Amino acid sequence: RYVRQLQRLQLLFSPTAADARGARQFVEEAAQDFARQHPDVVLYVSPHSGPGPAPVLRAEYLNGTVREELIASKTSEEIVQLATKMANQSGLDIIRIRKPFHTDNPSVQGQWHPLTNKPSILTVQGPRLQPQ
């Protein structure tokens, strides 16, 4: 079954800062709907009073990664889109994947080595035959 990799979303903003207007509108209007649509994600709303750091949406995933996205001067709809995007992600690092495939057992018949196609007299050490 599908297990959502997002553990919790923390909405850190200041109730008086001007750039946190979108965050405040999101909390008033869309936060409850978002929480109902995603029942397995815990949404924490933590306003800190007074002038502080920029409003941020912090996502914590099941493998421990914490991703912070700035929501300064963003509208409520954009914050909803951002939150759904983070909810659908897993906590893996967003870097270039070198290969889209991976195996733990790449070889079934035995990997090639310089003696695979040579006559076996070169490798086999049988019992020493007595001179007859």
Partner 1 sequence: MVVLSAARWLRSRLSERFWRVQEVLKYARHFRGRKNRCYKLAVRSVRRAFVRSTKARREKKRFLRALWITRIEAASLEHGLKYPAFISNLVKTQVELNRKVLADLAIYEPKTFKSLAALAQRRRQEGFLAALGDGKEPEGIFSRIVHHH
Task: Return residues touching partner 1 (CB under 8 A).
Answer: 52-53, 106-112, 116-117
Do you know the residue count of the chain?
Answer: 132
CA 108 to chain centre: 32
| Closer residue to partner 1 in complex, CB, 107/132 | 107
Least distance CB 112 / partner 1 (angstroms): 5
Structure tokens at 115: 């003696």
Q: Residue 53 CB, nearest distance to partner 1 (Å)?
A: 6
Name which of 109 and 132 has its Cβ closer to partner 1: 109
User: Of 12 and 31, which CB lies nearer to partner 1 in the complex structure?
Assistant: 12
Q: Return the closest-CA partner of residue 37 out of 83, 3, 93.
A: 83
- Provide the terminal-to-terminal Cα distance of the chain, rounded to the nearest Å: 71
**H/E stretch holding 1:** none
Q: How far is the CB of 109 from partner 1 (least distance, A)?
A: 5
